[in-house]
Amino acid sequence: MSMLNSISDFSARPSARNLARAVAGVVNRLIAAIIAERERQANLAVLRALTDRELRDMGLMRSQIGAGLAQAAKDRSCAQNQPTRRP
């Protein structure tokens, strides 16, 4: 019986490869989040530097800058999470 228990315990443990993949996935998502935040900050700075007329030419009002960037980030995140289609 102890032999069967040790075999079942071994199969229940995650392999080193799976653990490495999980850690790499977490690190990858963390780096992607940091990059996305820096990009958002840069875009916010550029949009805030524009004049009201320039913003109006793009169809934005100054009060819509934050919400517009949030929506763009959400759309980009959804697009990145979708699997790519191959022809």
For residue range 15-30, what is the model confidence (pLDDT) as tens digits? 888 999 999 999 999 9
Supply the angle between the helices 16-49 and 65-81 in degrees, to the nearest 10: 150
Q: Which domain holds residue 28?
A: 15-81
63 lies in some domain = yes
13: left (phi over 0), alpha (psi -120 to 50) or beta: beta
Dihedral over Cα of 74, 33, 85, 19: its sign: negative
- The count of domains in the chain is 1
Helix (H) or strand (E) holding 51: none
pTM across the whole model: 0.62
Q: Which tens digit of pLDDT belongs to each residue from 40-84?
A: 899 999 999 999 999 999 888 999 988 888 888 888 878 877 766
DSSP 43: H
6 lies in some domain = no
Dihedral over Cα of 55, 58, 60, 66: its sign: negative
